[in-house]
Amino acid sequence: MTSTSLDIVAIGDAIVDVFATCDDAFLEERGFAKGSMRLLTTDEARDLYAAMGPGREVSGGSAANSMAGAAALGLSAAFVGQVADDQLGAIFAHDMRSLGVKFATPLIADPPPTGRCLILVTPDAQRTMSTFPGASHELTPAALDPELIRSASVTFLEGYLWGPERPRAAMLEAARIAHAAGRTVAFTLSESLCLGDRRHGVLGMIEAGTVDLLFGNEEEVRHLTGCGDFAECVESLSKHVATLVITRGARGAVAVESDYLVEIPAAPVERIVDTTGAGDLFAAGFLAARCRGRPLRACLETGSIAAAEIISHFGARPEADLKELAGL
């Protein structure tokens, strides 16, 4: 077995977030469901951007945010994601590397450009995301470095990137490599994956044993399983994954391993400014504690602390000293 020189490697969207504030009417006029994520075509992205207020650009991407958090929590982390050879791609790469996250996915030289996510934050701190995935969805299995996957204790896969075919193939290949090397595969659900007929494919992948550690929020697991009762959701999913972690917003979080269930309340937050990245940082905190050998309850608590930090300010990348906050 290759020795593990990395704690974690993630595969996900490589995009730059563009944050702007708006009022509820702006969302309503466009028929955007608050708190949702939708994909945009090039034309839709151009039109929405033109209508938006002034933006603040911060590197984003769900699993990439998790890796930024993992690095801030002291893990050795790597990220695999596709950017183009352009200014936003250079910004994304700089922001990853400056946090100490290994990022070496070869650039694509041709269009599409580096992806971006237009994030509209309403006065109630909710974020509504419109993603122009751009280069991010051009990730193929050929971009993977098998040695990198084998060298990491955990391979972390992002639900948002599960939709398009080639990135899905890359993630399945990464899971295969990781399992062949005796590593853990983690997967984080996204709402869009769990709706309609699509959920059957995701359930099939989970039932096939691809995922050892599954992250999701309450709404996602309800949609995915089709269960009305939360206890039933938990039971039906926990049969197929060694560790199931479900966040419940203000109601805290729950984790299940076989017959052992742990629940914790949410960490207190003085003022919620922007909920973008809450789930991403919860996963980062959970995984950081896990890679440091902490028990299940401590993993949930660290996730909760990291999520509380991220929702107290704009943007989905940590600003405070997370390692200090989490006591890791």
Q: Would you say 178 and 150 are in contact if contact means Cβ atoms under 8 Å apart?
A: yes
Q: Which of residues 58 and 211 has its CB atom nearest to its own copies in the complex? A: 58
- Which of 23, 24, 57, 232 lies at the binding interface for its own copies (CB under 8 A)? 57
Among 5, 33, 53, 239, indicate the residue that binds its own copies (CB under 8 A): 53
On whether the CB atoms of residues 78 and 9 are closer than 8 A, the answer is yes
The stretch among 82-90, 198-206, 243-251, 279-287 that binds its own copies (CB under 8 A) is 82-90
Relative to beta strand 184-188, strand 77-80 is unpaired
Asked if 74 touches its own copies (CB under 8 A), the answer is no
Q: Which one of the spans 30-38, 51-59, 177-185, 233-241 is the region binding its own copies (CB under 8 A)?
A: 51-59
User: Which residue type occupies 199?
Assistant: R
The answer to whether the beta carbons of residues 253 and 303 sit under 8 Å apart is yes
Residue selected from 3, 25, 31, 50 as contacting its own copies according to rule CB under 8 A: 50
Contact present, 286 and 250 (Cβ < 8 Å): no
Residues 6+ apart with CB under 8 A from 285: 69, 73, 299, 302, 303, 304, 305, 306, 307, 322, 326
d(CA 215, CA 190): 9
Q: Closest distance between its own copies and the C-beta of residue 285, in Å? A: 18
Q: Is the bond preceding residue 112 a cis peptide, omega within 30 degrees? A: yes
Residue 99 or 267 with smaller CB distance to its own copies? 99
230 binds its own copies (CB under 8 A): no
Nearer to its own copies, 202 or 306 (CB): 306
By CB under 8 A, tell whether 133 contacts its own copies. Answer: no
Of 10, 88, 289, 308, which lies in the binding site for its own copies, with binding defined by CB under 8 A?
A: 88
Q: Of 283, 277, 276, whose CA–CA distance to 246 is shortest?
A: 283
SS3 state of residue 120: strand
Radius of gyration of the chain (CA): 18
Query: CA torsion sign, 168 to 79 to 140 to 210?
Result: negative
Count of residues of this chain found to bind its own copies when the rule CB under 8 A is applied:
24
Rounded-to-integer distance, Cα 137 and Cα 112, Å: 9
Please identify, using beta-carbon distances, which residue of 221 and 284 lies nearer to its own copies: 284
113 is a site residue for its own copies (CB under 8 A): yes
91 lines the binding site for its own copies (CB under 8 A) = yes
- Smallest distance from its own copies to CB 315, Å: 7
Binding of its own copies by 1 (CB under 8 A): no
The verdict on 317 binding its own copies (CB under 8 A) reads yes
54 binds its own copies (CB under 8 A): yes
Contact between 209 and 241 under an 8 Å Cβ cutoff? The reply is: no
Structure-token pair, residue 248:
């419940």
Query: Per CB under 8 A, which region of 46-54, 163-171, 244-252, 261-269 contacts its own copies?
Result: 46-54
Pick from 2, 87, 182, 200: which binds its own copies (CB under 8 A)? Answer: 87
Q: Which stretch binds its own copies (CB under 8 A): 53-61, 195-203, 209-217, 271-279?
A: 53-61
For its own copies, give the closer residue by CB, 56 or 251: 56
**C-alpha dist (Å) from residue 216 to 158, 189, 308:** 11, 5, 17
Choose one: 90-98, 169-177, 228-236, 281-289; the region binding its own copies (CB under 8 A): 90-98
Site for its own copies in 177-216 (CB under 8 A): none
* Token output for 309: 């930090």
Q: Which residue has the tokens 């509820």?
A: 24
Residues of the shown chain interacting with its own copies in the complex, contacts defined by CB under 8 A: 20, 49-50, 52-59, 68, 86-88, 91, 94-95, 98-99, 113-114, 315, 317
